Amino acid sequence: MSENMSDNMNENMSMQEYIEEAERDLLHTYNRYQVVFDKGEGVYLYDMEGKKYLDFVAGIAVFALGYGNRDYNDALKAQIDKIIHTSNYYYNVPAIEAARKLKKVSGMDRVFFTNSGAEAVEGAIKAARKYAYLKDGTTDHEIIAMEHSFHGRTMGALSVTGNPHYREAFEPGIGNIRFAKLNDIDSVRELVNEKTCAILLETVQGEGGIFPAEESFLKELRKICDERDILLILDEIQCGMGRTGYMFAWQKYGVKPDIMMCAKALGCGVPVGAFLMTEKVGTHSLAASDHGTTYGGNPLACAAVSRVLDLFEENHIIEHVRKVGAYLEKRLDELAAKYDFITERRGAGLLQGLVFDRPVAEYIAQALKDGLVLINAGANIIRFVPPLVITEEDVDKMIEILDGALSGSR
């Protein structure tokens, strides 16, 4: 068969045929919804058949600026025409500029660019253990993480993920991990000992159910870490980059971490993450040959980061999230009050969850049929992580569609 004939066959394949081919060819590690998205515009996605969907998932809190942002796209196209990759044996201007801008908005001092959030977690764990190793020369240090947390699927990130279901088939993990309860400072104190090198948590738990860390809890953690020279590590992969109405969620409380991870909206679709640290940790942890990555920090990824940070500032994204986030909270509260089976709303800014007294899969599936993209956070929580550029009108439309799915009206 000629190449042209093969291409023509692909052009004529239906959405269902593509789904069937995917099920034959791709490793079945996802239970995907039965849709093939083809393009996006603003806060809407379109499938192969042209159906339009309001997107309140944003690629799992990734596409903060919405789809088809011309300034973002042009920056990537320009970089592609210059150079995409060189490796970290050499400097490149986009990485230097992206690091400078990321330091400015975070208040951190040193940056290491990765390819994903999970890789950022891996790097943070290594940095913490190297910091402790340089103090006493031993390698049996412990990390305290939180129950119900989620930090990624790689072995190190999985080891500090506080859901046994994710870990059980892959044990043993990296070892010396202890789990405390989020917002229960006594549960942390019970685990702290002379071997504790770090306390690691999400500032707002995402996959674990949209649980924000309380201000008093974070401040007590900071106090414990300062008193014992333990590193406070905050995972801002999902809750960072403006999602809660602050560039990073910890900035609301002024509890600065020693190490911080970010990803997702950092590149707004280009796979890129980072872990950042204070100068103290940067000069007393990872050194030459301790850590590396082939693709991390390449010119294309960092051109995306650089332009994203510019656009956040130029378009006043943080101020917008605070305004629309408050409206989203109001409308979700109204919806929760309407249905007895919705027991709670919790979250911050444009990271919100509705808690149900039953599984939510059927509601999410019905909403998708009705043109609304949603995801869960656990079996009984609908999670709302839309593009940060949504409007109050978009919130109203989402509520209308979701209300229909909940009530059974079509």
Secondary structure element (H or E) that encloses residue 345, with its range: strand 342-348
What is the pLDDT tens value at each position of the chain, 410 positions in all? 344 434 444 668 999 999 999 999 999 999 999 999 999 999 999 999 999 999 999 999 999 999 999 999 999 999 999 999 999 999 999 999 999 999 999 999 999 999 999 999 999 999 999 999 999 999 999 999 999 999 999 999 999 999 999 999 999 999 999 999 999 999 999 999 999 999 999 999 998 899 999 999 999 999 999 999 999 999 999 999 999 999 999 999 999 999 999 999 999 999 999 999 999 999 999 999 999 999 999 999 999 999 999 999 999 999 999 999 999 999 999 999 999 999 999 999 999 999 999 999 999 999 999 999 999 998 999 999 999 999 999 999 999 999 999 997 43
Residue 194 sits at φ, ψ, to 5 deg, of: -70, -15
Q: Return the CATH class of domain 3-65+316-407.
A: alpha beta
Secondary structure element (H or E) that encloses residue 395, with its range: helix 392-407
**d(Cα 387, Cα 325) in Å, to the nearest integer?**
11
Q: What is the 3-state secondary structure (H, E, C) of 30-65?
A: CCCCCCCEEEEEECEEEECCCCEEEECCHHHHCCCC
CATH architecture assigned to 71-314: 3-Layer(aba) Sandwich (3.40)
Structure tokens, 395: 């919130």
Sole residue written with tokens 């950022």: 120
pLDDT at residue number 166: 93
Q: Which residues contact 280 (CB under 8 A, 6 or more apart)?
A: 258
pLDDT at residue number 88: 94
Structure tokens, 305: 């980061």
| Under 8 Å between Cβ of 203 and 243 | no
Residue ranges of the chain that CATH labels 3.90.1150.10: 3-65+316-407
pLDDT at residue number 12: 82
pLDDT at residue number 179: 98
| Under 8 Å between Cβ of 214 and 184 | no
| Under 8 Å between Cβ of 327 and 392 | yes
Query: What is the amino acid identity at position 137?
Result: G
**d(Cα 143, Cα 197) in Å, to the nearest integer?**
6
Query: What is the amino acid identity at position 362?
Result: E
Residue ranges of the chain that CATH labels 3.40.640.10: 71-314
